Amino acid sequence: MSLKLYGCDISSRLLLGTARYPSPAMLKEAIQAAKVEIVTVSLRRESLGLQNEQRAGQSFWSLIQQSGARVLPNTAGCHSVREAVKTAHMAREIMGTNWIKLEVIADDMALNPDVFGLVEAARILNEDGFKVFPYTTTDLGVGERLMQAGCHLLMPWAAPIGSGQGLSDRNALKAYRRHFETVPLIIDAGIGRPSQATEAMELGYDALLLNSAVAKSGNPVLMAQAFRQSVRAGRDAYLAGPIEPYEGAMPSSPMIGRAYLS
C-alpha cells in the first residue's frame, strides 16, 4: 500500500537528501539505486550570488529534475522564524512547489530543533499555503502543537543530525508512534546503518529520510540500495507482525505426536 503525504500517493518509503555527495554523478546514481520518489534540496544549494555559483546551482537543479524525483525544499541552517519563512518563500518561487521541509535550528553544535520557533514558523507557513514537513523531536506536546498549527505529518528525529547513532530513545519513538496513531510519521535524522532503518520501520514508522548515512559512506550507490532494501524489509516485518520477546525458551516444534521412548 502506498503512503499518502498531503494527498499524494508515494510508493517509496525512503526519502533521500542531496548534500555532501562525492560528485553529482554519484548523487544521481544513488537516487537511482534507492528508487526514491522524494529528494530534499536545501535552497543554499541553489546559489544566487556569483556567476560561477549560478552555473553550479543550475547544473545541480538540472540533475535533480532529470532524476524524476519530487523535490522537497529544505530550510536547513535557518536559526529564526523570520529566516525560515523567508527561505521557504524563496524555495517555492525557485522550485515551484509548496512542499517545504521545515527546520528551525536552536544551536550549531547539536543542531537541535528550536521547537518554539518551529511551531511558530509552521503556523505562518501553513497559513501561507505551504505543505509543511516539520523536523522535530519526540516531544509529544510539540507534536500536538505542530498538528494544531496545521501540519498533516510529523518528522521526529531518531538522534541528532548526522550522528548515525540510530534509535537513541527507542521507548520515546514507540510512544510517539502510539500517540500519533493515524498521523504519517517520517523518521528524520540520526539513522546511520540499514539495520537501524529496519528497526525504525518495524516500530510502525511510515518512512525514513536519510542523507549523511548514504552520502558519506564508502560507496553511496551501494549504500542507497542497501537502505532501500532495509526500509522495505522493516515495513514488511511491521505489517506481518513480529513475535513478542519471551523470557526463556519456547519450543518451535509441537509436543503432541513426538516419539516417546519407554
Residues marked as catalytic: 101
Cβ contact 152:120 at 8 Å: no
User: Would you tell me how many other CB atoms lie within 10 Å of the CB of residue 201?
Assistant: 25
190 is in an annotated binding site: yes
212 is in an annotated binding site: yes
Cβ contact 72:99 at 8 Å: yes
162 is in an annotated binding site: yes
The three cell numbers locating residue 30: 544513488
Q: Which candidate, 76, 68, 25, places its Cα nearest to that of 46?
A: 76
Spatial neighbors of 76 by CB under 8 A, at least 6 apart, are 19, 42, 44, 103
Q: Which candidate, 70, 133, 122, places its Cα nearest to that of 96?
A: 70
The three cell numbers locating residue 59: 547544473
126 is in an annotated binding site: no
Residue 124 CA, chain-centre distance (Å), reads: 22
Cβ contact 137:156 at 8 Å: yes
Helix locations, the chain, DSSP H: 24-34, 51-67, 81-95, 115-127, 140-148, 170-179, 194-202, 212-215, 220-240
Specify binding-site residues.
Answer: 162, 189-190, 211-212
Specify binding-site residues for 1-deoxy-D-xylulose 5-phosphate.
Answer: 162, 189-190, 211-212
